[in-house]
Amino acid sequence: MSGALPDAAFWRGRRVFLTGHTGFKGGWLTLWLRSLGAEVCGYSLAPSTEPSLFATARVGEACRSIIGDIRDLPALERAFMDFQPDVVLHLAAQPLVRRSYQDPLETFSTNIMGSAHVLDLVRRTPTVRGALIVTTDKCYENLEQATPYRETDRLGGRDPYSSSKACAELVTRSYWWSYFSAAGAPAAASARAGNVVGGGDWSTDRLVPDLIQAFAEGRPAILRNPDAVRPWQHVLEPCCGYLLAVERICRTPAKTPPAWNFGPDEEGNVAVGEIAAGLAAAWGGDARYEVRRDPGAVHEATLLTLDHTLAQADLGWRPRWPLATTLAKTAEWYRAHQAGGDMQAVCEQQLSDYVSA
Ligand SMILES: NC(=O)c1ccc[n+]([C@@H]2O[C@H](COP(=O)([O-])OP(=O)(O)OC[C@H]3O[C@@H](n4cnc5c(N)ncnc54)[C@H](O)[C@@H]3O)[C@@H](O)[C@H]2O)c1
């Protein structure tokens, strides 16, 4: 049975303020929202990679695009007041574990105070009915346990990135208790997704961008941590969940749970080495990789899986693409990019394939 899809009747003409539109997930979400007839105002820093999904898929054509910092409260406030959004999707973040070790203050200020700024503007902008704060599966205290994490599990986080996202969860909850639980107030909740793959990610120190770059250059990719198990999913899976969550938040604010997990079915919980093998096969040619363990590497969890029972029961969401399709679509996207394709059209085609899956 397929999972639920966003309701175009809800989104048509809806004014959506989306932070992180110049990034990987935010770019896909912006294109999806445009196809649903929403009016999007994106607010983010300029793309941090070259190439970027924002430039290659011409995401700026699908929204009103503002380049700004979520730590700059006056600038963020001007953007909110000018646009007068109905709903807010907050994705902007410093999202990389290794970078968070190199620059913890940037990570904490962006992911904690930046989220607090967004929540405070949700509180102070009368047009806003609902907000979704995107955190991560890494917000849970990682016990290296075989049992998938549930929404009620204890928050934690050893590295600065994971810790900052657990803090963003607590800040969201505090705003809910303090301002959003009253009748007539806007509602807010958080979303915790697993490791996302798909076309258009060029971030450093992420598995798929590293693999694709090596495959495209005809050299072996290097795997540092082949045994680490993560919940892998296509970028469109959590994006679908985020849209369903916002619909739910706006329709029944008083009954909204504080958070949902969005992870793959059991078959998507695999080791890094399996993703590398699957993507190499999907890419074809002489795509290959080598394992080179780094004993001096910074700490990263080795086992992390997510329980998405609540999202399934509460939102009707469930993964639509099995892992093999996810990897095939990812390879197809980067192959099209390598061949100089129209990447906005490729995104739209993959979105249409996803919706009809
Ligand atoms: N990609 C994943 O596997 C994954 C998994 C779980 C959760 N997440 C979360 O999803 C969200 C989006 O991640 P992504 O993979 O698209 O990351 P990304 O790096 O591609 O995009 C991050 C976005 O945040 C913006 N940003 C960063 N700092 C900012 C600042 N100070 N002010 C304004 N904008 C700022 C960037 O400009 C960019 O638009 C993040 O909150 C991330 O933590 C990602």
What's the whole-number mean pLDDT along residues 157-184?
95
Tell whether 280 is covered by a domain.
no
Tell whether 328 is covered by a domain.
no
What's the whole-number mean pLDDT along residues 56-75?
98
State residue 254's pLDDT score: 85
Whole-number Å distance, alpha carbon 92 to ligand 1 midpoint, is 5
What number does the ligand 1 atom closest to the CA of 90 have? 41
Whole-number Å distance, alpha carbon 317 to ligand 1 midpoint, is 22
What's the whole-number mean pLDDT along residues 233-262?
96
Q: Is the pLDDT of residue 221 over 70?
A: yes
Q: How many domains does the chain have?
A: 1
CB 195 near ligand 1, within 6 Å:
yes
CB 70 near ligand 1, within 6 Å:
yes
Give residue-wise pLDDT tens across range 9-33: 999 999 999 999 999 999 999 999 9
Q: How remote is the C-alpha of 340 from its chain's centroid?
A: 26
What's the whole-number mean pLDDT along residues 319-332?
98
Tell whether 351 is covered by a domain.
no
Q: How far is residue 246's CA from residue 235's CA, in Å, rounded to a whole number? A: 17
Q: Is the pLDDT of residue 147 over 70?
A: yes
| Residue pair 188/175 in contact by the 8 Å Cβ criterion | yes
State residue 301's pLDDT score: 78
Give residue-wise pLDDT tens across range 41-53: 999 999 999 999 9
Question: Among 19, 31, 44, which residue has the most ligand 1 atoms within 8 Å of its CB, making it the best to mutate?
Answer: 44
State residue 339's pLDDT score: 97
Query: Could you tell me the residue range of the domain that residue 138 belongs to?
Result: 8-196+234-265+299-320
Work out the pLDDT band at 139, boundaries 50, 70, 90. very high
Mean pLDDT of the chain: 96
State residue 299's pLDDT score: 81
Tell whether 304 is covered by a domain.
yes
Q: Which residue has the higher pLDDT, 304 or 334?
A: 334
Place of tokens 């399934």: 312
What number does the ligand 1 atom closest to the CA of 134 have? 41
What number does the ligand 1 atom closest to the CA of 165 have? 43
Question: Among 53, 136, 275, 326, which residue has the most ligand 1 atoms within 8 Å of its CB, making it the best to mutate?
Answer: 136
Tell whether 58 is covered by a domain.
yes
State residue 2's pLDDT score: 80
State residue 297's pLDDT score: 81
What number does the ligand 1 atom closest to the CA of 68 have? 33
What number does the ligand 1 atom closest to the CA of 110 have? 31
Domain CATH number, residue 70: 3.40.50.720
Whole-number Å distance, alpha carbon 305 to ligand 1 midpoint, is 20
pTM over cut 0.95: yes
CB 24 near ligand 1, within 6 Å:
yes
What's the whole-number mean pLDDT along residues 265-293?
95
Tell whether 341 is covered by a domain.
no
| Proportion of the chain above pLDDT 90, given as a percent | 92
Tell whether 46 is covered by a domain.
yes
Tell me which long-range contacts 342-348 makes (C-beta under 8 A, separation of at least 24): 343/53, 343/56, 343/57, 343/58, 343/199, 343/200, 344/31, 344/57, 344/58, 344/59, 344/61, 346/57, 346/199, 347/28, 347/31, 347/57, 347/199, 347/200, 348/31, 348/35
Work out the pLDDT band at 1, boundaries 50, 70, 90. low
Whole-number Å distance, alpha carbon 198 to ligand 1 midpoint, is 15
Q: Is the pLDDT of residue 162 over 70?
A: yes
Whole-number Å distance, alpha carbon 20 to ligand 1 midpoint, is 6
Tell whether 122 is covered by a domain.
yes
CB 231 near ligand 1, within 6 Å:
no
Sign of CA dihedral 109, 112, 118, 120: negative
Sign of CA dihedral 113, 117, 118, 120: positive
CB 196 near ligand 1, within 6 Å:
yes
What's the whole-number mean pLDDT along residues 222-226?
92
